[in-house]
C-alpha cells in the first residue's frame, strides 16, 4: 500500500479560483483512507471547509480504488470543471486520464510504501520515496496518519 500525507488546506486553496472553479471531490477508500489523508471523513471535512470559505463545491464521490479502471464509471455533473483528488499519485493520474478536460488538483503527497498491522492499528513506512527517506521505519496510527511517537502513551493496567 502507498502511504500518503495530506497537503495543507492553504496549499490546496492556493490552486483554486472562487469565481471560476466548480468543484467535485473524488475520494479513494483504500490506501489514502488507511493513511488518514483521504476517505469519506476527510472528503466531507474538506468540502465543508471549502464551502465555508466561499468555494463552489457541487458534489463528491468515493471510489473503492481510484487507481483502477473502475474510476471510468464515475459520472460527474455537467457543470463541474475542477476535481480535487483525494487519492495517491496513481489515483490522481487515473483521474486525469479519465477526465482530461478538467482541472485536477492533488490533495495528498506520496511518502512511500507501507505495511499495516491491523492488530496494533499501525502503519509502518517500509520503502520511502527518496524525498522521504528519513521516514523509513516510522510508525503511524491507522486512519489518522498521526505519527506514533507523537501520541500520548497508554498507561499499563
The pLDDT value given to residue 37? 95
Sheet holding 56-63, edge to edge: 56-63, 22-28, 82-86, 103-106
Set of cell numbers at residue 150 = 507523537
List, run by run, the mean pLDDT of 10-residue segments along the chain (157 residues).
96 97 95 94 96 96 88 83 97 94 97 93 96 96 88 46
The pLDDT value given to residue 151? 52
Q: The domain 2-110 is classified under which CATH number: 1.10.30.50, 3.40.50.2300, 3.40.50.720, 3.60.15.10?
A: 3.40.50.2300
From CA 57, how far away is CA 108, in angstroms rounded?
A: 19
The pLDDT value given to residue 153? 46
Task: Report which DSSP code applies to 130.
Answer: G
Amino acid at each position: 500500500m502507498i502511504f500518503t500525507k495530506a497537503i495543507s488546506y492553504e496549499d490546496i486553496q492556493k490552486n483554486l479560483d472562487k469565481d471560476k472553479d466548480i468543484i467535485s471531490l473524488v475520494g479513494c477508500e483504500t490506501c489514502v483512507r488507511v493513511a488518514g489523508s483521504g476517505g469519506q471523513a476527510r472528503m466531507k471535512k474538506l468540502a465543508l471547509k471549502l464551502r465555508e470559505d466561499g468555494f463552489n463545491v457541487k458534489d463528491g464521490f468515493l471510489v473503492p480504488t481510484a487507481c483502477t479502471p473502475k474510476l471510468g464509471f464515475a459520472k460527474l455533473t455537467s457543470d463541474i470543471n475542477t476535481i480535487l483528488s483525494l487519492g495517491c499519485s496513481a489515483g490522481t493520474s487515473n483521474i486525469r486520464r479519465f477526465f482530461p478536460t478538467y482541472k485536477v488538483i492533488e490533495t495528498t503527497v506520496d511518502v512511500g510504501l507501507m505495511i499495516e498491522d491491523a492488530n496494533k492499528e499501525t502503519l509502518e513506512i517500509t520503502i520511502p520515496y527518496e524525498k522521504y527517506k528519513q521516514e523509513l521505519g516510522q510508525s503511524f496510527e491507522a486512519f489518522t496518519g498521526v505519527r506514533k511517537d507523537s501520541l500520548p502513551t497508554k498507561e499499563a493496567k
